[in-house]
Amino acid sequence: MSDVSVILWGLAGYLSGSVPYGLLLMKAAGLGDPRRMGSGNIGATNVLRHGTRPIAAATLLMDMLKGLAPVLAAGLWGGEMAALAAAAGALVGHVFPLWLGFRGGKAVATYIGVLGGLGWALGLAFVAMWLFMAWWKRISSLSALTATALMPVAAWLLGADGKIILFTIAAGALIFIRHHTNIRDLLRGEEETIKTRDDP
C-alpha cells in the first residue's frame, strides 16, 4: 500500500464523514437548522432534543454509517493502514466538514461506526459502555466521554494491535476536545439529561 493510496483513502473517509446528516434530515423534515437550536450541534443528541425521535434515530444511523462504510471499504481493498486513514478522515470530516465552513459535530456516532469498521467487537464494546452509563446517569455527554476514555483499555483487552490502540487514544483526545463545554457543564452540575422536546 503506497503512501498516496493511504492519503486517498483518508480523503475518501473525510468526504464521507463531512456529510451533515443531522442538518439535512432536520431541514428535510421541516424542523429547522439544528445549528441554531440548543447546543448548536448537528449530531443525534441535539436533534433528539429539538426534533423527533425518528429523525434523531436516522441521524444516529447515518452518522454511524458514514464512519463505517469508508473504513470497511478501505480495509477490504487497501489493508489496515488504509482503514485507519479512512477512520481518521471520517472523524475529522464530521468535526470539520467542508460543506459547513469546517464547523461540525462531536463525532461520537461516527466514532462508533469507525470502530465497527476496524473490528465489530470494538464497536460493540463502545456501545455497551455508552448504554450502561446512559442507563445509570442519563447524560449523553458523560456516557460518550466515559466510553471514549475506556476505549483504549477495551481495545487492548480485545486484542487489538498497537496501531488501533493508538488510534483510539488520538480519537479520544479529539472527542474530549470537542466536548470541552460539556465537560465544563458536567463539573458545574449543569449538563442536560437525555430527553426529547416532547418530554416534560
pLDDT tens digits for 121-133?
A: 999 999 999 999 9
Q: Is residue 194 part of a domain?
A: no
pLDDT at site 49:
86
Q: Is residue 13 part of a domain?
A: yes
Q: Does the pLDDT value for residue 200 go beyond 60?
A: no
Residue 60's CB: how many other CB atoms inside 10 A? 21
Confidence of residue 199 (pLDDT cuts 50, 70, 90): very low
Q: Does the pLDDT value for residue 58 go beyond 90?
A: yes
Q: Is residue 102 part of a domain?
A: no
Q: Is residue 24 part of a domain?
A: yes
Q: Is residue 21 part of a domain?
A: yes
pLDDT at site 3:
79
pTM: 0.93
| Cβ partners under 8 Å of residue 113, min gap 6 | 63, 64, 65, 66, 67, 68, 69, 71, 90, 123
Confidence of residue 24 (pLDDT cuts 50, 70, 90): very high
Element (H, E) at 65: helix 53-78
Q: Which amino acid is at 42?
A: I
Q: Is residue 199 part of a domain?
A: no
Q: Which amino acid is at 2?
A: S
Residue 51: DSSP 8-state: S
Q: Count structural domains, the chain.
A: 1
| Cβ partners under 8 Å of residue 4, min gap 6 | none
Q: Is residue 141 part of a domain?
A: yes
> 146: domain range?
3-95+107-188
- Mean pLDDT of the region 76-95: 97
Q: Does the pLDDT value for residue 195 go beyond 80?
A: no
Percent of the chain with pLDDT over 70: 96
| Cβ partners under 8 Å of residue 78, min gap 6 | 1, 5, 6, 9
Confidence of residue 198 (pLDDT cuts 50, 70, 90): very low
Q: Is residue 137 part of a domain?
A: yes
The crossing angle, in degrees rounded to 10, of helices 120-137 and 140-157 is: 140
